[in-house]
Structure 1
Amino acid sequence: MKSENERLQVLLHFAQNLQAQLELDKLLYTTMEEVARILNADRCTVFLLDEEKQELWSLVAMGIEKGKEIRFPADKGIAGHVAMTGEILNIPDAYRDSRFNPEIDRKTGYRTRNMLTMPMSDKNEAIIGVFQVLNKEDGAFSHEDEELLSAISKIAATAIENSLLYEEQVESLNSFVETLSATLDTRDYITAGHSQRVTLYATTICQQMKMDKDCCEQIRYAGLLHDIGKLGVPESVLFKAGKLTDEEYAVIKNHPAVTRQILESIHFPRKLKLVPDIASTHHEKINGKGYPDGLTIDQIPLGGRVLALADVFDALTSRRQYRDREPIEKVWSIIEKDAGETFDGKVVDVFLKIPLKRIIEILEYDQREKLNPEELAPFKYLPFQWIIEIKRKDPETLTEDEQSLLKTFDRYYWRQY
């Protein structure tokens, strides 16, 4: 038996492990691993109660395929009985209990010997889920195990409620940012869809660079909002058909600074604190000749350097009312020439490695329903660099396969479908 001091140490360690987790799936998995270890059991599942659908569900379960959600009626099985009654069930022999459903064992090849199932309640004593711990490794679950799991469930319930609240806040922020971005693109009919495509290019670069999830999220938000400062540009300047005066150009060049001011007034979560810096540096150049602040490579966040390339690539490959796309080889010649001056050479190199299929999907994002998956399949294995090299070759030296793929690319690029 554990002493009271040992029990407190176990609970403190458990609480500390949960404290660092905000994402629900990671929180649930950490909880299940820790409970199985603490109770010396084979596995544990945490089911949450969906009151609206009256179902118990879990995003993850030990021993079940990762990423596969489990759902069943909230009044079925042993977990359902506990959820409905609030009763603690400590069953020493599962197959002798009529409430046990052996079907899952038959499907998974698992053999349940004993189980401890306990309700999990919020601070108002409302049941929000169920703990189910299986197969104590040295006999049946004891009364001490019940007391320990009861204390654990209170800690877990608080952490899960915080996680669910955090996810609601993230969803609200997502909705707010995407609506704001869409509104901005609607205002500027000339560059409609620009923010979305820049974001897709930027997050694809992030994935190619194997950045962590938080970095990718910061860049995603910054991409969606990088031009929000254009709200401060008068429409007479923004949509002017002729050449801008020096004063008008100065107003345009100030939009990244306005972007920073607007975004700094938004309360972003701690892990998104760099969004204003990233979004406001997409017109900076690594040689210090960009705007609004003339920053050099060491002063520009990596996300800003990623956005800078994504922004220019989209501008050159987008259709306008007054012109078509620039030829892809010309686009890349411009970017190559500016690598090491305007653009971070490492980011440029990474862009060349992006699968060509992904580039086509983003180029034609607003026409994505017209893309033919079978036609695009071969481009999944060709990097963007391939099309640049093909375009620079003598057409007469191309193989039949190269000619066929080039023809398909051009059909999508020039939208001849």
Structure 2
Amino acid sequence: MTARNALIKQLEDLNAIGIALSAEHDHQRLLEMIVMSAKRLTNADAGTLYTVTPDKTLQFEIVRTSSLGIAMGGTTGKHIPFPPLPLYLDDGQPNQHMVAAYAVLNDCTVNIDDAYAAEGFDFSGTRQFDQTTGYRSCSFLTVPMKNHDGDIIGVLQLINAQDEQTGDIVSFSASSQQLVESLASQAAIALTNRQLIEGLRGLFEAFIRLIAGAIDAKSPYTGGHCRRVPELAMMLAAAVNRSSSGPLKNFQMSGNQLDELRIAAWLHDCGKIATPEALMDKPTKLSAIVDRIGVIEQRFSLLKKQAECRFLQQQVQAIREKQEQMLEAVAQEYAGWVQQLDDDLIFLRKVNEGCESMPTEDQDRVRQIAQYPLEDAQGNRVNFLTEDEVYNLTIVSGTLTPEERQVVNQHIVVTIDMLESLPYPPGLQRVPEYAGGHHERLDGRGYPRGLTKEQLSIPARLMCIADIFEALTSGDRPYKKAKTLSESLHILGEMKLDQHIDPDLFDIFIREKVYLQYARQYLQPEQIDEVDEAAIPGYRL
């Protein structure tokens, strides 16, 4: 091959390397590619890549020596035992004696024909290595790696260029130096771009967790929900990917698609940032600024006092009229009334806490109590409970009125609006869809859009199951105890039969024991009871 053809071949190789460097996404493989490409371009026996650390040292990243079979760092999994090289000595002076440090400090390439004959540099470590291994380090080419901002981010060092014909150790030629300098420049830009991308991704991930953490911190009664739902969603997604039977056996989510789902799961409740704390934190039905059950307790005391006054008046009348039977009857009536009031107060305290389903007879009892006669300050008879108090105390499920629940449910609309307003890069454009579908139902009776199964993607349906199961097993809701595994799976099975959740995903959730995997990490021991999968409604093996 003529010198001209050899040069053309090297330039073609350099161009191909540049394209490959730009396409590589894995940081460690990128570092390895830089060293191996430089070795191939210059026919060097050994190569080392250092990166500049924030504390002004050169960290060993890749070490390769072909003749000795040495391969450390990168994807090899082998730890590099050498300590970082300091750019500055203990006294603060620049470390000009180590060739790699010198190249950084002086922003220059160092091309040495023979390390043993070089003056001004400390090659004692090199000689010690040679003595230990029987190697002979001779020619060195050390090139700083400078990014587009002019900052040196690393050093590429090659050792022992070899003659292609004889294999003898030779010096690095001027053309080889130019090629490596060009490669180092391309490599530095590729590394910087990868670091910028990873940095932006890290910032994005941190921002997502910041929002989710702020929402969880906003309410002590849903704390941890935004953190647990992503964990459960990813567990179920992994189970779907490994499932080898059923209608979803051919459905697979790639790594990028899983990232998209995970981000959507972290952000699925971001709209709650606009939900009033008074509603998110409403622990009882009568809670406003304060729990109004305290006002009702005072009314019970007043009602007792008024009953006591009537009793005393009737008692005086019976004594005057010397009617002992009437006296006894009045005393019994008063005692019975006081007992009734005590029982009613206990009852109202209980129903004020909320439940999953308030019986009709309890609602009727609240309305009866509301009619108890109470005299105001002017002596006029008024109802014991106001219409608003009755309305709140007869809430059938939870602690929110229908109007308050509508405000809370609005969080999903805010979530969708917030997420759809963001400029997503390719691979994240379905985040709003996945995050915004977790309150939809397969039969179209969900909210906010009333989507049907055909309109909901599999990841969006998956989010629904994760959100519901986390809520069922959560122990931080103000109006209910945390449910056991068997109770939660029974309710989830009923939801499957009611066309609320996806039946195929539900079956995988049970068959692949996703519920148990989640329970062992996040549920209290007393919640993890024995589960009879055959008894779960709607479950199909």
Provide the TM-score with structure 2 as the length reference: 0.59
Relative distance call for 1:289 and 1:322 in structure 2 (3 A) is closer
- Could you tell me which amino acid in structure 1 is paired with residue 436 of structure 2? S
CA distance 1:148–1:174, change in 2 (3 Å): same
Q: After the TM superposition, which residues 234-253 of structure 1 pair with which residues of structure 2 at under 5 Å, given as runs? A: 234-240=276-282, 241-242=284-285, 243=395, 244-253=400-409
Contact 2:51 2:59 in 1 (8 A): yes
Structure 1 residues 141-150 or 241-250, which shifts more?
241-250
Label 1:390 to 1:271 Cα distance change in 2 as closer, same or farther (>3 A): closer
**In structure 2, what is the Cα distance between the partners aligned to 1:53 and 1:253?**
50
Which residue matches 1:160?
Answer: 191
Q: CA deviation at 1:326?
A: 0.8
CA contact (8 A) 2:462 2:505 kept: no
**2:49 counterpart SS class:** strand
Aligned residues: 373
Q: Does 1:19 align with 2:19?
A: no
Give the 5 Å matches for 1:61-76. 63-65=71-73, 66=75, 72-75=84-87
Match of 1:361 in 2: 521
Name the aligned partner's letter for residue 73 of structure 1. L
SS of match in other structure, 1:272: coil
Equivalent residues of 1:317, 1:328 under 8 A apart: yes
The 1:178–1:7 alpha-carbon spacing in structure 2 relative to 1, beyond 3 Å, is same
Match of 1:101 among 113, 116, 125: 125
Question: Mean alpha-carbon deviation: is it higher for 344-353 or for 309-318?
Answer: 344-353
Deviation at 1:119, TM superposition (A): 1.1
Cα separation, partners in 2 of 1:45 and 1:316, compared to 1, 3 Å:
farther
Greater Cα offset, 81-90 or 100-109: 100-109
CA contact (8 A) 1:89 1:116 kept: yes
Q: Counterpart amino acid of 1:85? A: N
Deviation at 1:36, TM superposition (A): 3.8
Instruction: Summarize the Cα distance change of 1:92–1:182 in structure 2 as closer, same or farther, 3 Å threshold.
Output: same
CA contact (8 A) 1:74 1:84 kept: no
> 1:287, 1:296 within 8 Å by CA — same for their partners in 2?
yes
Q: Are the counterparts in 2 of residues 89 and 117 from structure 1 also a CA contact under 8 Å?
A: yes
| 2:148 match | 123
* CA 358–91 in structure 1, closer or farther in 2 if over 3 Å, else same: farther
Consecutive unaligned residues of structure 1, counting only runs of 5 or more, are 365-370, 372-383, 394-417
Report the counterpart of residue 54 of structure 1 in structure 2: 56
For 1:332, the equivalent position in structure 2 comes to: 489
Contact residue 305 and residue 344 of structure 1 kept, 8 A = no
Counterpart code for 1:229: G
Backbone CA RMSD of aligned residues: 3.9
Q: After alignment, is 320-329 or 130-139 more displaced?
A: 130-139
Counterparts of 1:230 and 1:325, CA distance in 2? 22
- The amino acid of 1:334's aligned partner reads I
Corresponding residue for 2:327?
none
Q: Secondary structure at the match of 2:144?
A: strand
Q: How does 1:90-239 map to 2 (within 5 A)?
A: 90=111, 99=123, 101-102=125-126, 115-134=140-159, 136=161, 138=164, 139=167, 140=170, 141-208=172-239, 209=241, 211-239=253-281
Shift of 1:6: 3.7
Alpha-carbon shift at residue 191 of structure 1 (Å): 0.9
Residues 251-400 of structure 1 correspond to what in structure 2 (within 5 A)? 251-319=407-475, 320-339=477-496, 341=499, 342-343=501-502, 345-346=504-505, 348-349=507-508, 352-354=512-514, 356=516, 359-363=519-523, 388-389=531-532
Name the CA distance, whole Å, in 2 between partners of 1:153 and 1:258: 48
CA distance in structure 2 between the partners assigned to 1:107 and 1:363 by the alignment: 60
Aligned to 1:84: 105
Give the match's secondary structure for 1:315. helix
In the TM superposition, residue 321 of structure 1 has moved relative to its aligned partner by 3.2
317 and 81 in structure 1: CA distance in 2 versus 1, 3 angstrom threshold:
same
Deviates most, 216-225 or 237-246: 237-246
Note closer, same or farther for the CA distance 1:104–1:346 as it changes in structure 2 (3 Å cut).
farther
Deviation by residue 1:358-413 (Cα, 9 ceiling, x = unmatched):
6422336xxxxxx9xxxxxxxxxxxx9x96349979xxxxxxxxxxxxxxxxxxxx
TM-score (norm 1): 0.74
CA distance, structure 2, for counterparts of residue 109 and residue 304 of structure 1: 59
Question: C-alpha distance in 1, partners of 2:534/2:416?
Answer: 39
When Rg is computed on C-alpha atoms for both structures, the one with the higher figure is: 2
CA 1:117/1:285 → structure 2, altered by over 3 Å: closer, same or farther? farther
CA distance, structure 1, for counterparts of residue 509 and residue 133 of structure 2:
45
- C-alpha change, 1:265 and 1:72, in structure 2 (3 Å) is same
Residue pair 2:130, 2:136 contacting (<8 A) in 1 also: no
Instruction: Name the CA shift for 1:327/1:145 in 2 (closer, same or farther; >3 Å).
Output: same
C-alpha spacing 1:27/1:133, structure 2 compared with 1 (3 Å):
same
Q: 1:132 to 1:228 in 2, by over 3 A?
A: same
The 2-side partners of 1:333 and 1:104 are apart by 70
Deviation at 1:235, TM superposition (A): 4.1
1:249-286 deviation line (CA, Å, top 9, x unaligned): 44444422221111233344444333222211122334
Does the CA contact (< 8 Å) of 2:229 and 2:265 recur in 1? Answer: yes
Partner of 1:381: none
| Structure 1 residue 247 displacement after superposition | 4.3
Distance in 1, Cα, partners of 2:224 & 2:267: 12
Structure 1 residue 197: Cα displacement? 0.8
Decide whether aligned partners of structure 1 residues 350 and 323 sit closer, same or farther in structure 2, where only a CA change above 3 A counts.
closer
Identity of aligned residues (%): 27
What residue identity is the alignment partner of 2:176?
Answer: D
Q: Distance in 1 between the 2:459 and 2:47 partners? A: 40
CA contact (8 A) 1:23 1:167 kept: no
CA contact (8 A) 2:509 2:515 kept: no
Offset from partner CA, 1:273-300 (integer Å, 9 cap, x none): 3322221112233444432223344543
